[in-house]
Chain A
Amino acid sequence: MLQITGVSRRFGEVTALSEVSLEIRPGEFFALLGPSGCGKTTLLRILAGFESPDSGAVTLDGADLLSLPAHRRPINLMFQSYALFPHMTVAKNVAYGLERERLPRAEIRERVEEVLAKVGLAAMAGRRPQQLSGGQRQRVALARAIVKRPRLLLLDEPLSALDKKVRAEMQLELKRLQHEVGITFVVVTHDQEEAMSLADRIAVFSAGRVEQVDEPVALYERPRTPFVAGFVGASNLFEGAAHDGGLDGGELGVLPGTGDLPEGTPALLSVRPERIRLEDFGVPDGEPSEEPAAETPEEPAEESPEKPVESAESPEPAEESPKEPTAESAESAEPVEDAVPEESAESAEKSLEEPAAESPEKSPEEPVESAEPAEDADPEESAESPEEPAESAEDTDPEEPAEGRGVLRGKVADVSFYGGVSHISVVVPGRPAPVLVATQGATRVRTGSAVALHWAADDGVLVPQ
């Protein structure tokens, strides 16, 4: 329906848009998403007719759009500031566009009443915009734009001026209205949550270019550029080169991931925080939180004398109520390491894949944190494991702590809980930024705990750099 071809726009030295091409389909809810200054608003203003591109073409239903002045375009814009006329009542504001079309008075009145009812403001028709709340103003702005029945409705940061509660309400409202009136919506936003929740398809902008156009889920799960991986949703990005079965992260070893990139291509591996599973080894004794986890293999060994006793007494509780052992998580963690000691010694690659693949089974021992918990625990494995803790401490080579203990090891730097999700940042030696992990519900992991991180190859996406 709307075809944007090779549109460029420069402001002096700044390139606001560079060779942007997009196709917007009829009836679609389309979002232009990007950080401020990425050119999305310039594109919107070009569509509305307030700016003209230096080069490129825009056609609406096959007809050239750029040659039409703003007031002749079958396109309406809902302004970020709403731009309601302060000297007119709500009804007058809404009627303004229809009056310009010189429609008969009766029809104008009818359509104004209809649209005000649709946005739930019929009672406010006689008020001035100043007398309305933010949410109500936004509805008036929306009503004023859709009453003209445009081919295309542009919305500039439609929800940014609203407080959080009203925002969620309006989000639903916008979607509902879009279905009802059947107008194609193009929304500009810097808020990725807003874009994800509203749009059918999203074009991600960065520095005047379109990075990726996709449906929200695809954008989230299969980012195609480093920018998208970083911008859409929280993500852990690892730098390195493509490698069989994942990414060769240099110091960090091979990290599991998927993507069809030729071996050795510089790439980023994107792993979503909620895809990472934590294995908790507890806070090392006497060393509250200062030492990096990789250097603390001895400390668990100090505790080990206690363990056999406990595990002998209660191997069952360990499986049945995986939450219990958490307090002494050090002991429950050890076994995991031992479950795969031989394989891990064989090859770095293999050992890295193994724990990730096996992780669902092992989760009972890393009691709380695992996203997929204990149900399918292998009783034998857990029963066995407590018997070899002392060994494991000896076995553990300080140089290769990651082996058999997940993809990466690190220490919890911070834990915060909000929105029903625990956000845990883990400092991993050899990586400047902490790795973020998100788990459903309140976590029992404490700051300073030594942890191992697991994820499967499917959970990591390789992005060419």
Chain B
Amino acid sequence: MRRPRLLYVPFWVTYVFLYTPIVVLVAMSFNAGKSPYVFAGFSLKWYGELAGDATIREGLVNTLIVATGSTVLSTVLGTLLAVGLARHARSRVLDALGVLPAVLPDLVLGIGLLVFYAAVKMTLGLHSVLLAHTVFGMAFVTAVVRTRLTHADASLEEASRDLGATPMATFFRVTLPQLAPGVAAGALLAFTLSIDEFVIAYFTAAPTTPTLPIVIYSMVRFGVTPEINALATLLLAVSFTVVIVAQRMTRLTESLS
């Protein structure tokens, strides 16, 4: 049966609406002219400028430090939390609290963390951003791993214990390998979210250690340049890659189980 053509219209309109700005942004990053609105020929000059920009480089390094650190921390903590919630706590409230930071408005989390840091008299810097990102990254990892755990076969862990494995050995040899795809997907998610996170980083970063989104924000305040377009295109490429890898991974997971 053929579907009426008319039904495709809203579908395509939605996609055009979503992706036109992105296509324009990518196209303009290769603009030879100085104006971000008028295309004056192909050139990679803005990518070159980008590479030479010390502020951006510094921001990028800061962001990578924060993203990597918070990903490692949130993956470890989030996985443990998920296992604990699934296997040892039969409480829906605890379950909800575990993933709450993922849905909490960034503003609330940012202000809350800032107040908390002030209360414990902690200096701001990369470490404070890293911890802040860990808080919400952990929530995402927990949510992803927790879902996988509910689909995992609990009898495998029982079988392991039955065969003489201590709880520790059971966790490392049976539980964790079962969860690996979920853990990896959670880690990727935490990493991408941390890379372009702005609000929380804005509240918790020291003025001397801005992350990349903060750097971009301060540049844009004085007008958009094609340099920003080039940077955005690069970020876009990273995000796309990660999303595709994550998708592949889940598909792999599903076909395995």
From B156, B163, B173, A76 is in contact (CB under 8 Å) with: B163
Q: Is the CB of B158 within 8 A of A79?
A: yes
Cβ-defined partner of B162 (8 Å) among A77, A81, A84, A87 = A77
List, in ascending order, chain B residues with CB within 8 A of A25's CB.
none
> Given the complex, which residues of B lie within 8 Å of A79, measured CB to CB?
155, 158-159
Query: Which residue of chain A has its CB nearest to the CB of B176?
Result: A87
Question: A442 at interface (Cβ–Cβ under 8 A)?
Answer: no
Say whether A71 contacts B165, CB under 8 Å.
Answer: yes
Taking CB atoms, residues of chain A closer than 8 Å to B55 are none
B250 an interface residue at 8 Å Cβ cutoff?
no
A148 in contact with B155 given A85-B174, A86-B256, A100-B169 (CB within 8 Å): no
- Residues of chain A lying within 8 A (CB to CB) of residue B163: 71, 76, 96-97, 100, 144, 148
0/1 string, B144-170, CB within 8 A of A gives 1: 000000000101101111111111010
B178 interfacial contact with A, CB 8 Å: yes
Beyond A70-B158, A83-B159, A87-B177, whether A148 also contacts B256 by CB under 8 A is: no
A180 lies within 8 A of chain B by Cβ:
no
Are B159 and A70 in contact, with the CB atoms below 8 A? no
Asked if residues A83 and B156 are in contact (CB atoms below 8 Å), the reply is yes
In the complex the two chains form, is B256's CB within 8 Å of A71's CB? Answer: no
Q: How far is the CA of A316 from the CA of B256 in the complex (A)?
A: 74
Interface residue ranges of A56-89 to B (CB < 8 Å): 69-72, 75-77, 79, 81, 83-87
Partner of A70, one of B153, B155, B156, B161: B161
A325 within 8 A of B: no
Contact, CB under 8 Å: B155 / A83? yes
A86 partner residues in chain B, CB cutoff 8 A = 178, 256-257
Most buried by A among B155, B167, B173, B177: B155
Say yes or no: B164 contacts A148, CB within 8 Å.
yes
Select the residue from B156, B163, B164, B167 with max chain A CB neighbours within 10 A. B163
- The answer to whether the Cβ of A48 comes within 8 Å of any Cβ in the partner chain is yes
Contacts of A417 in B (CB 8 A): none
Number of interface residues of A (CB under 8 A): 23
B229-251 vs A: 1/0 string, CB under 8 Å? 00000000000000000000000
Q: Is the interface of B mostly helix, strand, loop or mixed?
A: helix
Which B residues touch A76, using CB under 8 A? 162-163
Q: Tally chain B residues at the interface, Cβ within 8 Å.
A: 20
Known contacts A79-B155, A83-B153, A86-B256; A71/B161 CB under 8 A: yes
Question: CB distance A81 to B164 under 8 Å?
Answer: no
How many A-B residue pairs lie within 8 Å, measured between CB atoms?
A: 60
Q: Give the Cβ gap from B166 to chain A, nearest Cβ, in Å.
A: 6
Expressed in whole angstroms, the minimum distance between the Cβ of A188 and any Cβ of chain B is 14
Q: Once the chains are docked, how many angstroms separate the CA of A81 from the CA of B152?
A: 13
Residues of the B chain whose Cβ atoms lie less than 8 Å from the Cβ of A48 = 158, 162
Given contacts A83-B153, A85-B174, A86-B256, whether A71 and B166 have CB atoms under 8 Å apart is yes
List, in ascending order, chain A residues with CB within 8 A of B169's CB: 100
Whether A49 is near chain B, meaning CB under 8 Å from some CB there, is: yes
Q: A75: which B residues are within 8 A, CB to CB?
A: 162
> What's the least CB distance linking B202 to chain A, in Å?
43
Q: Do A81 and B158 contact each other (CB < 8 Å), given the known contacts A87-B177, A96-B165?
A: no
Q: How near does chain B come to A70, taking the closest CB pair, in angstroms?
A: 4
* Bound-complex Cα distance A87 to B160 (A): 13
Closest to B256 in A: A86
Shortest A417–chain B CB gap in Å is 41
Question: Which 10 residue pairs are nearest across A and B when measured between Cβ atoms?
Answer: A97-B163, A83-B159, A100-B164, A83-B155, A70-B161, A87-B177, A71-B161, A100-B165, A77-B162, A71-B164
Cross-chain pairs A/B with CB under 8 angstroms, 27 sampled: A49-B161, A49-B162, A71-B163, A71-B164, A71-B165, A71-B166, A72-B164, A75-B162, A76-B162, A77-B162, A79-B155, A81-B153, A81-B155, A83-B153, A83-B155, A83-B156, A85-B159, A85-B160, A85-B174, A85-B177, A86-B257, A87-B177, A87-B178, A96-B163, A97-B163, A101-B164, A148-B164
Binding site for A on B (CB under 8 A): 153, 155-156, 158-167, 169, 173-174, 177-178, 256-257
Query: Which residues of A approach B to under 8 Å, CB–CB?
Result: 48-50, 69-72, 75-77, 79, 81, 83-87, 96-97, 100-101, 144, 148
- If A75-B162, A77-B158, A79-B155 are given as contacts, then 16 extra A-B residue pairs at C-beta distance below 8 Å, sorted by A number, are A70-B158, A70-B161, A71-B161, A71-B164, A71-B166, A72-B164, A77-B162, A79-B158, A81-B153, A83-B155, A83-B158, A86-B256, A96-B173, A97-B163, A144-B163, A148-B163
